[in-house]
Amino acid sequence: MLSLLLALAQAVAVIRGSPAPCKHILKEIFSPAKEWVKQGPAPADHGFTMRIAMVQPQFEVLEQHLYAVSDPDSARYGEHLSMEEANGLMTPSPDALEAVNDWLVSHGFESHGLERSPSLDWVKISTTVQKAEEMLNTTYHVWKHSESGESIVRTTSWSVPDALADHIELVHPTTMFGGSMKPRGTTYLLDEDTPITLPKSTSPVATAVDPSCNTTITPSCLLQLYNAVNYKVQAASKGRVAISSYLGGY
């Protein structure tokens, strides 16, 4: 009888000590374009890099600063923020940093091993499909693009614990499918009766613009149009030059 009572007491203690089920809040649900065809569940041990973006509570203040220093009519025109000042305005709240850190630690990640951006608003971790599905209460699948043949691992919805819903802005990769990732130029129709006239450059190193740039924009065209074909960064250790590309278009 005594042994039975002890067993019951231990069982009650285990139940009381177990964490309560975590309520998840749906952050996003998405339907990919028809070109993306679901192939099947992603392998549980498939590894990938996950990036977590946190809410920036002072983003509006940062935006106001940027407008002020960029407006020629502003008294603060040209008074750009230092890197430290900009990072300070992008840093999440202390509560958000602590909550997200505790969440990651609860899933087996070591706090000191987390890779963070200078402003602490991005966290990068190496994980697996199985772990990501547990964290985001979702299911990942392999998707194949019917035109390019490209395969990616994505989900169509994801959630986070209730306590993190107001702290996490986005997680990647989740629902970002995009188009075929094959680089391509931006092509537009040209009315033959309305030729494009470009301003003449007075620079002695100006280069002729390839005629094909009248109908298709590529990185090479952009370098020609901005007379930057042979441009080299003056302080290569501190700065870089890049050309933005969105879904393969320029």
pLDDT per position as a tens digit, 81-91: 999 999 999 99
Residue 33 within a domain: yes
Q: If pLDDT is split at 50, 70 and 90, which confidence band does 6 have?
A: very low
pLDDT per position as a tens digit, 53-77: 999 999 999 999 999 988 888 899 8
Q: 67 CB contacts (<8 Å, ≥6 apart)? A: 74
Tokens linked to 118 = 């200078």
Residue linked to tokens 């608003």: 121
pLDDT per position as a tens digit, 169-196: 999 999 999 765 454 545 554 454 444 4
Looking at every residue in the chain, the average pLDDT score rounds to: 82
- Cβ atoms within 10 Å of 104's Cβ, excluding its own: 19
Residue 12 within a domain: no
The reported pLDDT for the residue numbered 207 is 58
Same domain, yes or no, for 152 and 98?
yes
The answer to whether the CB of 223 falls within 8 A of the CB of 209 is no
Residue linked to tokens 């975590």: 22
Same domain, yes or no, for 40 and 110?
yes
Q: If pLDDT is split at 50, 70 and 90, which confidence band does 13 have?
A: very low
pTM of the predicted model as reported, rounded to 2 decimal places: 0.67
Same domain, yes or no, for 205 and 154?
no
Strands (E), the chain: 24-29, 36-41, 47-54, 115-116, 122-128, 141-145, 151-154, 157-161, 168-172, 186-187, 216-217
Same domain, yes or no, for 135 and 190?
no
In what helix (H) or strand (E) does residue 164 lie, and over which residues does it extend? none
Mind giving me the DSSP string for 112-149? GG-EE-TTS-EEEEEEEHHHHHHHHT---EEEEETTT-
Residue 1 within a domain: no
Same domain, yes or no, for 211 and 101?
no
**Cα(167)–Cα(111) distance, rounded to whole angstroms?**
18
The answer to whether the CB of 69 falls within 8 A of the CB of 89 is no
Domain that holds residue 193: 183-250
Same domain, yes or no, for 30 and 52?
yes
Choice between 239 and 161, residue whose per-residue pLDDT is larger: 161
Q: Which of 113, 131, 173, 108 is CA-nearest to residue 45?
A: 131
Please count the structural domains in the chain: 2
Same domain, yes or no, for 161 and 242?
no
pLDDT per position as a tens digit, 197-228: 445 544 444 457 888 887 777 888 888 887 88
Residue 84 within a domain: no
Mind giving me the DSSP string for 183-208? ---EE----TTS---PPPP--TT--P
Residue 83 within a domain: no
The reported pLDDT for the residue numbered 182 is 52
Q: State the greatest distance between any 2 C-alpha atoms of the chain, in Å, as a whole number.
A: 100
